[in-house]
Amino acid sequence: MRIPAIAALLALVSAASQAGEYPSACRGFTSFPQGDLVQPARPPCLDYLVDRVSIEICQPLMDLYQIEVRAYVDCLKSENSAIIDRFNDAAKKFNCAQNGRLC
């Protein structure tokens, strides 16, 4: 009985560590337990814009969606920078090794 529980715990810890690899700007956009980045959800009210009242009801949801999309774009920019930094560090280490040096 313990082995399945331990395996499940290890899977959760592994997923959490993967999600933890994203920059802090992505904190609100990671799914659990996969740890993938998840885009902000499009407001469902957009499918029901039939009159002025439905538009007014949808307005606050659109405002929130706009804020979330801007934050998600910031997340992607941060993730892009982090990936480039990791690559540059790896390339530097590889180049040092290739030239017979330790860096």
Q: How far is 67 from 15, CA to CA, in rounded Å?
A: 27
pTM over 0.75? The answer is no
Q: Are 26 and 82 in contact (CB under 8 A)?
A: no
Q: What is the pLDDT of residues 2-55, one digit of tens each?
A: 444 444 433 433 433 444 578 888 988 887 776 889 999 999 999 999 999 999
Residue 31 lies in a domain: yes
Does 38 fall in a domain? Answer: yes
Number of domains in the chain: 1
* Burial class for 26, CB neighbours closer than 10 Å (0-12, 13-18, 19+): buried
Helix, strand, or coil here: 37? Answer: strand
- Closest Cα partner for 80 from 29, 22, 2? 22
DSSP structural state of residue 38: -
53 within a domain of the structure (yes/no): yes
> Is residue 44, in this structure, part of any structural domain at all?
yes
Q: Give percent helix, percent strand, percent coil of the chain, each to the nearest 5.
A: 75, 0, 25
Would you say 44 and 25 are in contact if contact means Cβ atoms under 8 Å apart? Answer: no
Q: Is residue 79 part of a domain?
A: yes
Q: State the residue range of the domain holding 21.
A: 2-98
103 within a domain of the structure (yes/no):
no
